[in-house]
C-alpha cells in the first residue's frame, strides 16, 4: 500500500512465481510484515512498514522468499532505493535501483496514477461521453496543472473544455482555488483564458454572457478563428 507522506519503494517481480517479502523482529522473532508480490506484478513498501522509525535499535530481518529459496536484504536497500527488481531461476536475485526522492513520495505516486486513470477513462468512454467520465477527475487534473505543469496536460484540458462549457466553468473555479496563494500565476491565467475562449466558441452550452454579434467576414471573427486554430494546434 502506498503511504502518502513517506518514501515508497516499488518491488517488481519479473519472475513467473510469486515472491513474498517477510520482515521479522529480533530477538523475539515476531513477524512484523508480509507482502506477496504476484508474478509479473509489483507492490509498494516503505521504511515505516517495518516500524523501524519507532525503535531505531530494533533489529529487523528482511528477506524475499520463493518456495524454499530466500535472500536477505538490508532495510537500507528499501529505504534508499526507488525500485527493487526481483527474479527467480532457482535462486532469488534482486537489483536495487535509485531514483528521484520526490517521485517516491506517496502523493506523487498517487497523482501519477490518477493521470493514467484519466487517460484510460477517456479512451474507454469515447468522444461523445467525455463529460460523464472526466468530471470526477477534474479537481486532480487542475491540481496537476498548477503543481506539476505539463504542456500535454494543458492541451488535454483545453480540449475537454472545448466540448463542454460546464466543464470549462468547473476548471475555471478549480484553478482559481489552487492559484489563490501563488505569487506567479501568469501561466495558469493564460490557460484559463484559452479554456474560456474554446468553451465559448465550441462548447455545448451557449455563452453565459451575451457577446457582440460579429459576422464571419469581420476582423474580430477572423481574429477569433486564428486564435482557435492556434489553440487546437497547441500553440499560442
Residue 48 · residue 6 · CB < 8 Å = yes
**Mean pLDDT score of the chain:** 76
Q: What are phi and psi of 44, to 5 degrees?
A: -105, 135
C-alpha cell at 206: 451557449
Query: What would the pLDDT profile of 81-105 be if each residue is shown by its tens digit?
Result: 889 999 999 999 989 998 887 778 8
> Residue 197, SS3?
helix
Backbone angles phi, psi at 219, to 5 degrees: -55, -35
Distances (CA, A) of 228 to 26, 191, 236: 67, 13, 10
State yes or no: cis peptide before 181, omega within 30 of 0.
Answer: no
Q: Which residues, 6 or more positions from 158, have their beta carbon under 8 angstroms from its beta carbon?
A: 191, 194, 195, 198, 231
pTM metric for this prediction? 0.47
Whether the predicted pLDDT of 28 surpasses 80 = no
Which runs of consecutive H residues, i.e. helices, occur in the chain? 75-79, 101-104, 106-125, 130-134, 138-147, 151-161, 165-179, 186-202, 219-232
Say whether pLDDT at 206 is over 60: no
Which of these, 81, 10, 1, 74, lies nearest to 41 by C-alpha position? 10
Closest CA to 46 of 77, 9, 98: 9
**What percent of the chain lies above the pLDDT cut of 70?**
70
Contact between residue 55 and residue 46 where contact means Cβ atoms under 8 Å apart = no
- Answer yes or no: are the C-beta atoms of 58 and 25 closer than 8 Å: yes
pLDDT of residue 92: 93
Whether the CB-CB separation of 145 and 188 falls below 8 Å is answered with yes
pLDDT at 175 over 60: yes
Amino acid at each position: 500500500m502506498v503511504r502518502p507522506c513517506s518514501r515508497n519503494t516499488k518491488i517488481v517481480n519479473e519472475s513467473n512465481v510469486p515472491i513474498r517479502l517477510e520482515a521479522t523482529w529480533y530477538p523475539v522473532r515476531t513477524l512484523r510484515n508480509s507482502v506477496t508480490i504476484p508474478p509479473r506484478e509489483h507492490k509498494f513498501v516503505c521504511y515505516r512498514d517495518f516500524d523501524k522509525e519507532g525503535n531505531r535499535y530494533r533489529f529487523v530481518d528482511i528477506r524475499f522468499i520463493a518456495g524454499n529459496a530466500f535472500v536477505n536484504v538490508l532495510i537500507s536497500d528499501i529505504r534508499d532505493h526507488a525500485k527493487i527488481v526481483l527474479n527467480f531461476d532457482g535462486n532469488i536475485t534482486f537489483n536495487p535501483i535509485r531514483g528521484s526522492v520526490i517521485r517516491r513520495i506517496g502523493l506523487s505516486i498517487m497523482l501519477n496514477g490518477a493521470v493514467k486513470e484519466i487517460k484510460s477513462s477517456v479512451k474507454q468512454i469515447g468522444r461523445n461521453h467525455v463529460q460523464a467520465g472526466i468530471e470526477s477527475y477534474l479537481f486532480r487534473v487542475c491540481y496537476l496543472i498548477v503543481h506539476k505543469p505539463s504542456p500535454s496536460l494543458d492541451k488535454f484540458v483545453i480540449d475537454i473544455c472545448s466540448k463542454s462549457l460546464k466543464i470549462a466553468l468547473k476548471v475555471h473555479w478549480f484553478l482559481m482555488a489552487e492559484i489563490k496563494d501563488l505569487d506567479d500565476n501568469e501561466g495558469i491565467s493564460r490557460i484559463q483564458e484559452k479554456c474560456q475562449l474554446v468553451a465559448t466558441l465550441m462548447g455545448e452550452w451557449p455563452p453565459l454572457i451575451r457577446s457582440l454579434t460579429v459576422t464571419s467576414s469581420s476582423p474580430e471573427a477572423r481574429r477569433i478563428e486564428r486564435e482557435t486554430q492556434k489553440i487546437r494546434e497547441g500553440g499560442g
